[in-house]
């Protein structure tokens, strides 16, 4: 009963390096989301995917790309990491974009960029 699984849990990068954060859900959900959480701020939406094959920008998409590989997996890529991208990244999913169901979250990836 895994729910939403994120890998890795921790990562340290140097400025300019690239990295892909992985997310997979086993609940047969159509919609998936990537957020970042910074101290003293609420979670902010980076990108989301309404269904397999579609992706859309959220509130803070600059510096990120995403891939909805299949229904289960939604990855987030940092092409050239910057210190401002140091954050905790969360992946979430819901049955559908318009469902009145709560989002299910993974445990997060803690990313530090030096």
Partner 1 sequence: KQEVTQIPAALSVPEGENLVLNCSFTDSAIYNLQWFRQDPGKGLTSLLLIQSSQREQTSGRLNASLDKSSGRSTLYIAASQPGDSATYLCAVRRSNDYKLSFGAGTTVTVRA
The footprint of partner 1 on residues 53-72 (CB under 8 A) is: 58-59
The rounded distance, in Å, linking the Cα atoms of 15 and 57 is: 24
The rounded distance, in Å, linking the Cα atoms of 82 and 55 is: 23
> Which is nearer to partner 1, 71 or 104 (by Cβ)?
104
Number of chain residues interacting with partner 1 (CB under 8 A):
25
- Bridge partners of residue 88, in order along the sequence: 37, 110
107 in contact with partner 1 (CB under 8 A): yes
The rounded distance, in Å, linking the Cα atoms of 102 and 79 is: 31
- Residue recorded with tokens 């803690």: 110
**For the chain, how far is it from start to end, CA to CA, in angstroms?**
36
- Residue recorded with tokens 């729910």: 3
Selected range binding partner 1 among 18-26, 69-77, 79-87, 92-100, rule: CB under 8 A: 92-100
19 in contact with partner 1 (CB under 8 A): no
> Which is nearer to partner 1, 85 or 94 (by Cβ)?
94
Which stretches of the chain bind partner 1, using CB under 8 A? 4, 31, 40-45, 48, 50, 58-59, 90, 92, 97-98, 100-108
């Amino acid at each position: 009963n895994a729910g939403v699984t994120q890998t890795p849990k921790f990562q340290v990068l140097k400025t300019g390096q690239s990295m892909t954060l992985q997310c997979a859900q086993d609940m047969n959900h159509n919609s998936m989301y990537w957020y970042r959480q910074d101290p003293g701020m609420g979670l902010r939406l980076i990108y989301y995917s309404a269904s397999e094959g579609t992706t859309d920008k959220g509130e803070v998409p600059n510096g990120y790309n995403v891939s909805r590989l299949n229904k289960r997996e939604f990855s987030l890529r940092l092409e050239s990491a910057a210190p401002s991208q140091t954050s905790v990244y969360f992946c979430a999913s819901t049955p559908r974009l318009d469902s009145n169901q709560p989002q299910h979250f993974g445990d997060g990836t803690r990313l530090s960029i030096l």
